[in-house]
Structure 1
Amino acid sequence: MKTLAHHLIPGGCHTYAKGDDQYPISAPGFIARGLGCRVWDLDDREYIEYGMGNRAVGLGHAYPPVIEAVQRELSRGCNFTRPSPVEVQCADQFLSLIEGAEMVKFCKDGSDATSGAMRLARAYTGRDLIACCGDHPFFSTDDWFIGTTAMNAGIPQAVRDLTLTFRYNDLDSVRTLFARHPDQIAALILEPARAEEPLPGYLEALRDLCHANGALLIFDEMITGFRWHARGAQTLYGVTPDLSCFGKALANGFSVSALAGKREFMRLGGLAHSDRPRVFLLSTTHGAETHALAAAIATMRVYENEPVIEHLVRCGTLLRSGIEDIVSRRRLGNHFKVLGRPSCLLYATLDATGASSQAFRTLFLQEMARRHVLAPSFVVSYSHTDSDIDATLAAVDGALEVYGQALDSGVERFLIGRPSEVVYRRYNRSDAADEFKASAMLHAR
C-alpha cells in the first residue's frame, strides 16, 4: 500500500504533516479506522492516539452525536444549487458562541479562511503588505504564507516581498515594521497563543498598535478556538480581533472552517453595500456541504452544553504531571520537555548536547508506537479517559528508558531506519529521496 501511495500521490499522502518523512519507518503506515481516542492500522493493531487528526478531532473519532447529525443530513442530500437552511442555522450557532464576531462565512479548510482574511484586509485598507507571526508555524498553503518558508519554490519573489514577519510577545518588532512601512501594512495575523502564552497586555497592545497604524488585527484560531475556550481564545484573553479564522475541531474532523469578524469588514464580501468595491471573499462549490455543517452544529452544541474544555485541561494536566515525574525520575530534564497548554500539549526532544534533535524525536515516536501509542504530540480529546492516560504514561516510561540509553550509547544504535524530517526544508535528503523513489519505481514495474 505504501509503495502504491508514493507512486500515485506526491509525498504519499495529502497532508505534509501526515507524511512518511514525519514518522519512523516502523510507525503504522495507514490508519484504517478510529473510535474515541483509539485508532487501528491495516493490520488491526490498536493505538491510543494523541495527534487527533492534526488537532481537528476534539471530541473523539466517530463521536456518536456528530455522526448521527451527519447521517440525518446526508439522507436529504449534501449539495444544492441554492443555499440550504443549515447554512443559516450553523452561522447562528457559531455567532452565538463567538461573541466578538458579527458575520461568518464557512469554507472547507483553514488556508481558505486565512487567505480570505488577507484579501478582505487588503480591500478594506487599500494596502498591499501583510505581516504574520514568524514564531507560529503555519497559516496557509497559499503563496502569501508559504513564500515566507524554506519551501518557497514556485512562488514569485514579488509575492514573497508582500509578506513581512514579526516576533510573538515582541511589540518592538511590530513597531519596527510599522515604522519601516508607514501606511502600507493591511493586517497582522497570529495565533493568540501557542506553546507560549501572551505576556500580560500583549494582545491588547498589539490590537492598539494595529488600529493606531490603520491595520487590521487577525487571529488564527484554528487550534485555540476549541481548545483554549469554547468561545475562542479571544474570549479567554478578552481581546476581540477585527477578523478571526476557525477550523480544526469546529466540526470534529469534518471539513468546515470559518472566517468571522466585524460587520464593517465582512460586509464587503456581501450584497448589501455600494459604497466600496465588491470583494470576492470566499466562494467554493463544497464550502457549505450540508452534512459538514450539521457536524459543526452538533459539535458546537456539545462544547456549549458539556464540560469539554474542562475535561481537556484535566486530562492534559494529568498527562503532563505524569510525564514530568517520569522525566525527573529518569534524570532527562535537559533532554525531554513537555510544552504548551494542557489542552494542547507538545514535546521537545533534545540530544546529549541539549540541541533539538529529529533523530531523538523519531526514536521517541518509534518506542511509543511499539507500545501502542501514536503520539506526534500529546493532544488529548474529550474521549480520553484516566485509564488511557495511565496506559500512556506506562508507554512513556518505557520509551524514555530507551531514550536514556540512546543518550549514553548513541541514538543510531536504537533507531530503526532514517530519522524523521522537518516539513519546511529546501531539499529532500538524497538518501531519503532515493528510498521513496525506489518505492514508487517498484510499483511502476
Structure 2
Amino acid sequence: MADLGPLSGFGHSEQLQRALHDLVPGGAHTYARGADQYPEGMAPVLVRGSGARVWDADGNCFIEYGMGLRAVTLGHGYRPVLDAVRATLGDGLSFTRPTVLELRAAEEFLAPLPGADMVKFAKNGSDVTSAAIRLARAWTGRDLVAVCRQPFFSTEDWFVGALEMNAGVPRAVREQTLRWDYNSLPSLRELFETRAGEIACVILEPATALAEPAPGFLEGVRGLCDEHGAILIFDEMITGYRWAFPGAQELYGVRPDLACWGKAIGNGFPISALTGRRDLMELGGLRTDDPRVFLLSTTHGPETVSLAALRAVITAYRTERPIETMESRGSFLSAAVNTAAAELGIASHFQVTGRPSCLIFTTKDADGRSSQQFRTLFLQELLKRGVLCQSFVLSAAHTPEDVAHTAEAATEALQIYRKALDDGVERFICGPPVAPALRSHAAPRRVPS
C-alpha cells in the first residue's frame, strides 16, 4: 500500500518525546496520549494526518485508529469542514457579544434532539459534564452524585476523586461521589435506598464499546431517577454521532434530562455541548427568579471556527452515511482478525470486540488473564507493519484498503502472539509493558529525570 513502506525507525520521535517530557508533565497533554501507552521506543510523535493516515517526525506513515481519542469520525482534513472553517476565519473568531453563528449552530444542533430545548457550547467534555452536575445539584438541593462505573467523565474533582489517581482531591469531595454498576439496576436502586433523598443525579454513558444496555436497563434507570427525584444525565461524548445521529438516546429511545456532547460533533475541532430541558437550563440564564447557577461561562465556547466546524459536521451527517460506513468497515475488520485468531487457536487469548464503529481488542496470557505484556506485543508488531492503534476505533475515512492492510498486519502480529504464548512473551517484547493511563504512580513506566 502506498506510503506504508518499511519503518525508518523512531529516532527523531524519541528526541522530541524527551523534549516534551522536559516541558510538558507526562510528555503529553492527555494521559491516553502518553508514551507509556505504547511500546518503549516506539511512540511516534506526529506531524500531520490525512483521511485515516498519519505521518510522524521520522517520515513513517501509519493507518491510525482511535482517531483523536474517538473525536474524528469523518477523517483528518475532511474537506467540507475545512472549507467551512476557512470561510469563517477571515471574519474573526471571538467577539464581545454573541454572533448570528451561535444562534444558527444552536438551532441546527438541537433540531434532531426532541428531548432537548436549550444548549450551551464549551470546549471540553469535562466542561459540560461538570456543568450538568452543578445544575442537577442546584435543581435538587442535594449533594451526592451517582456515577456509573465506566472509564471517564471529567477532570474535575467530583469524578477524579473516585479514581485510583486521586491525589489532591479532598476527602470530603470524594465522599460525595457514589459508584454503581452498568446494566445493574439493583446496584443503583440500593444507592437510592441507602442514601434516600440525598442523590442529586445519575450520570452514565448509555452504552460503551464493551457493553450495550440490557433490555429495559436504560428505561429502568430513567424510572428510578423519576421515582427518587434525581436528574438523569447521559454522557454522549463517545456515543454521540458514532452510535447514531445524533446519539444513543435516539437509538435506544430513552430521553435524559441533560446530555453532554463532544468529540465527533467537531470532527477534531474543540467543541462540546450541554443540552437539556428548558426548566433546568434556565437556572443558568436570565429568565428565572431562583438563585442563578454558574452554568457555563467560557471565553472560547462560542468562537466561530469550532461552531462553523460543528455546522459542517451536522451537514455531513445529514447528507452522507458516515455511521453506516464505520459500521461496515468495522464489521469487516473484526471478522477478519477474529477469524485469524481462531485459525491460530488463540481465540480465547485475543479478541476484537465492541460495536463495529467503536472496536477494541482484549489480550490475555497463557493462563487466560488480562495481560499488558501481550497488549504491548500486539501494539509493537502492528506498529512495525504501519498500524498505529490503542484500539480499532475507526472513522468513515478508513478505506477498504486500509482495513484490509490492518487485517493482514494483525494476522501477522497474531502469529507472533501465538509463539509468545508457547515460548514466553518476555522473549518478544522490547522493553517494559504499557501501563494503565490513570494509575496512582508513574511506575512501571517512570521516566528518568
TM-score tier by shorter-chain length is over 0.9
Paired position in structure 2 for 1:443: none
Which whole-Å deviations, capped at 9, do the CAs of 1:295-319 have from their partners, x for residues lacking one?
0110111011111111111111111
Partner of 2:302: 288
Q: Residues 66 and 295 of structure 1 are in contact (CA less than 8 Å); yes or no, is this contact kept in structure 2? A: yes
Given that 2:73 and 2:395 are in contact with CA atoms closer than 8 Å, whether structure 1 keeps it comes out as: yes
Which of residues 50, 69, 78 is equivalent to 2:93? 78
Cα displacement string for residues 146-186 of structure 1 (whole angstroms, at most 9, x for unaligned residues) = 10010010000000000001000000001100011010000
Instruction: Name the aligned partner's letter for residue 172 of structure 1.
Output: P
Show CA shifts across 1:228-280 (max 9, x none): 00121000000000000000111000000001011111111111111x11000
Structure-1 residue corresponding to 2:448 = 437
Partner of 1:390: 404
Uncovered stretches (5+) of structure 1, i.e. residues with no partner: 439-445
Q: Secondary structure at the match of 1:92?
A: helix
- C-alpha deviation, 1:414, in angstroms: 0.7
Name the residue aligned to 2:10. Answer: none
Which of 255, 259, 270 is the aligned partner of 1:244?
259
**For the aligned residues, what is the CA RMSD?**
0.9
Residues 33-432 of structure 1: matches in 2 within 5 Å?
Answer: 33-134=48-149, 136-194=150-208, 195-274=210-289, 276-429=290-443, 432=445
Return the alpha-carbon distance in structure 1 between the equivalents of residues 299 and 21 of structure 2: 29
**What whole-Å deviation, never above 9, does each CA across 1:75-131 have from its counterpart, x for those lacking one?**
111111111111111111100122221111000000011000000000000000001
> What percent identity do the matched residue pairs reach?
53
In structure 2, how many angstroms separate the alpha carbons of the residues matched to 1:404 and 1:318? 22
Q: Structure 1 CA distance, aligned partners of 2:43 and 2:183?
A: 38
User: Aligned partners of 1:375 and 1:428: how far apart in 2?
Assistant: 22
Q: Distance in 2 between matches of 1:385 and 1:323?
A: 17
> Tell me, what secondary structure is at the counterpart of 2:311?
helix
**Aligned letter for 2:251?**
L
- The one-letter amino acid paired with 1:357 is S
**Whole-angstrom CA distance in 2 between matches of 1:40 and 1:128:** 47
Q: Distance in 2 between matches of 1:356 and 1:300?
A: 39
For the 8 Å contact 1:28–1:41, the answer to whether it is kept is no
**Paired amino acid for 1:214:** G
Once residues 168 and 38 of structure 1 are traced to their aligned partners in structure 2, the CA distance between those partners, rounded to angstroms, is 35
Q: Is the 8 A contact 1:229 1:235 kept in 2?
A: yes
Report the Cα offset of residue 425 of structure 1. 1.4
Q: Distance in 2 between matches of 1:34 and 1:28?
A: 16
Question: How far apart are residue 28 of structure 1 and its match?
Answer: 3.7
Decide whether the 8 Å contact of 2:435 with 2:445 is kept in 1: no
Alpha-carbon distance in 2 for matches of 1:208, 1:21: 42
- Secondary structure at the aligned position of 1:101 is classed as coil
Q: Report the CA distance between 1:424 and its aligned residue.
A: 2.1
Aligned residue pairs: how many? 433
Q: What is the distance in 2 between the residues matched to 1:311 and 1:284? A: 35
Output the TM-score relative to the length of structure 2.
0.95
Where in structure 1 do 4 or more consecutive aligned residues deviate above 4 Å? none
Distance (whole Å) between structure 2 residues aligned to residue 311 and residue 322 of structure 1: 17
Distance 2:302 2:254 in 1: 29
Partner of 1:442: none
Contact 1:26 1:366 (C-alpha < 8 Å) held by counterparts? no
Question: Aligned-pair distance for 1:191?
Answer: 0.3
In the alignment, residue 116 of structure 2 is paired with which amino acid?
Answer: A
Contact 2:201/2:231 (8 A) holds in 1:
yes
Provide, for residues 200-253 of structure 1, a one-character-per-residue CA deviation record: whole Å limited to 9, x for no partner. 111011101011000011100000001100121000000000000000111000
- Counterpart of 1:347 in 2: which secondary structure? strand
Provide TM-score, normalisation by structure 1.
Answer: 0.96
Shift of 1:348: 0.7
Deviation at 1:29, TM superposition (A): 2.6
